[in-house]
Amino acid sequence: MTNPLTEDILLEKLSTFLYSVSNFFEHKPIHLLDSLEVNMKQRTVKWAGSLLASAVTLCFLFGVSIADTIKIGVASPYSGDLASYGIPAKNAAEIAVKAINEKGGILGKQVELLAEDDVCEPNTATTVAAKLVAAKVVAVIGHLCSGATEAALPTYRDAKVIVMSPASTNPTLTLSGKYPNFFRTIAHDAAQADLQVAYALKLGAKKAAVVHDKGTYGKGLASLARDGLQKNNVEVALFEGITPGAVDYSALIRKINRAKVDTVVFGGYHPEASKIIKQARQKKINATFISGDGVKDPSFLKVAGKYAEKYYASAPTDVSQVAMAKSVSDEYKKVFGADVGTFSLQAYAAIQALAGAMEAAGSTDYDAVVKALRSEKVSTPLGTINFDASGDVLGAGFAMYQVQGGKFVEAK
């Protein structure tokens, strides 16, 4: 399977590189050298290690490229500050591809991964995109950073390459509608507020109060929820910030009571939420309360007690109940000796979604696969997912939970 020629070239390049590194340090001033040397030696060893690893992978890839394969690019940062996000995503894609190939590949063809480092920089990302397009990939898993993804997307779109990001959460990437080739297996930043608005509407909201804790998280979420409510003709009677840690919120509660709202959306964390809900329920306010993941915390249940009943809180979907999430995590740990990274499951799911869509479409044709991605449901570590018309994931991301009997239960 290996190609001895490429391996030789790479090893030669490696040794030249190491030589130049060691040369470089001979020119450093003496007093710097002592402290730097130890540090740099370790680093060099690490570099050498990762270079060797990638050399081996590359040889493997070159080896199989002779056969007729389906090529999928993986573009994420493997060096720089954000490498700790990129490498686990790529690793997960690798084990996903391995599992598919062991079962006979997609449409009888083996899948081949082409990993490219974009350093999470928009400039590098465009270069990477051109490179992958030239290598005739049918799809790309990536990029991670929203900025890099945005820069690379036009290149892919023009070449009719499907892009599926496991990590880019900027809402405009999908919502602008400029990139029909773009999908993502992670919910976008505004998804939580959208879910809250959707729930408020479902519960028949006519008049709402939106309260926040003046913080980045709380106010950001509350502003999005307010805009969403107003867009759907729900009257937002008051939009106010509270001081976290204040002695009580009775004046605000009285104001909410007077406004006669049917829905209260609170953007903030559980200590304030439990104070507010307790005082509101004591004042016989029966409005629906909705918050975000800052409130879905065991402490909230403990502190607010019986007053927490019926409180709604949106939060990332709990994947601990999905059997595949566990098996993938275990497999990952066995192969790479580390726990799955932040975006690993999303990357794994992206490969599965692509494979599932290609199988369903019966080809790797761009239009057929795009159509299948939207209609076909695939079971992944994130749950059973497909994609909406704008390319956002359905079935994963955020879910609405409600306190029932002292526990958070997924609201249906």
Partner 1 sequence: MDYFLELFLGGLTRGSIYALIALGYTMVYGVLGLINFAHGEVYMIGAFVGLIVSGFLTVLGWPILAIVVIATMMAMLFAGAYGFTIEKVAYQPLRHAPRLSPLISAIGMSIFLQNYVLLAQSSDFQAFPQLVPEFEFLEPYSHIILSTELVIILAAVVTLIALFLLIKFTKIGKAMRAISQDRQMAMLLGVNVDNVISATFIIGSALAGLGGILVASHVGQINFYIGFIAGIKAFTAAVLGGIGSIPGAALGGLILGWTESFATGYVSSDYEDVFAFGLLVFILVFRPAGILGKVSSEKV
DSSP 394: E
Query: What x-and-dash track marks residues 35-74 binding partner 1 by CB under 8 A?
Result: ----------------------------------------
Among residues 247, 320, 334, 389, the one that binds partner 1 under rule CB under 8 A: 247
- The residues, ordered by sequence, that sit 6+ positions from 15 with a Cβ below 8 Å of its Cβ are none
Nearer to partner 1, 299 or 384 (CB): 299
Shortest distance, position 230 Cβ to partner 1, whole Å:
18
Q: Does 294 bind partner 1 (CB under 8 A)?
A: no
Shortest distance, position 228 Cβ to partner 1, whole Å:
21
Nearer to partner 1, 256 or 373 (CB): 256
Among residues 28, 258, 326, 333, the one that binds partner 1 under rule CB under 8 A: 258
- The residues, ordered by sequence, that sit 6+ positions from 394 with a Cβ below 8 Å of its Cβ are 385, 386, 387, 388
Nearer to partner 1, 159 or 303 (CB): 303
* Cβ–Cβ < 8 Å for 93, 347: yes
* Cβ–Cβ < 8 Å for 366, 354: no
Nearer to partner 1, 83 or 238 (CB): 238
Among residues 157, 254, 310, 371, the one that binds partner 1 under rule CB under 8 A: 254
* Cβ–Cβ < 8 Å for 248, 241: no
- Segment contacting partner 1 by CB under 8 A, of 156-164, 165-173, 186-194, 297-305: 297-305
Integer Cα distance of 246 and 385 in angstroms: 43
Nearer to partner 1, 175 or 259 (CB): 259
- Which residue intervals of 2-29 are DSSP H helices? 4-26
Q: β-strand 378-380 against 383-387: which pairing, if any?
A: antiparallel
Query: What x-and-dash track marks residues 302-331 binding partner 1 by CB under 8 A?
Result: xxxx-x------------------------
Burial per residue of 116-149, b for 16 or more beta-carbon CB atoms within 10 angstroms, e otherwise:
bbbbbbbebbbebbeebbeeebbbbbbbbbbebb
| Three-state secondary structure string covering 374-393 | HHCCEEECCEEEEECCCCCE
Q: Does 406 bind partner 1 (CB under 8 A)?
A: no
* Cβ–Cβ < 8 Å for 208, 232: no
- Segment contacting partner 1 by CB under 8 A, of 73-81, 235-243, 345-353, 379-387: 235-243
Q: Does 388 bind partner 1 (CB under 8 A)?
A: no
Query: Residue count at the site for partner 1 (CB under 8 A)?
Result: 34
SS3 content of the chain, % helix, strand, coil (to 5): 50, 20, 30
Nearer to partner 1, 307 or 343 (CB): 307
Integer Cα distance of 57 and 94 in angstroms: 10
Q: Does 299 bind partner 1 (CB under 8 A)?
A: yes
Among residues 135, 246, 335, 409, the one that binds partner 1 under rule CB under 8 A: 246
Query: What x-and-dash track marks residues 355-384 binding partner 1 by CB under 8 A?
Result: ------------------------------
- Segment contacting partner 1 by CB under 8 A, of 59-67, 141-149, 255-263, 403-411: 255-263
| Packing angle, helices 270-282 and 250-259, rounded to 10 | 60
DSSP 213: -
Which amino acid is present at 330?
D
Binding residues for partner 1, per CB under 8 A?
211, 214, 238, 240-243, 245-252, 254-255, 257-258, 270-271, 274-275, 278-279, 282-284, 299, 302-305, 307
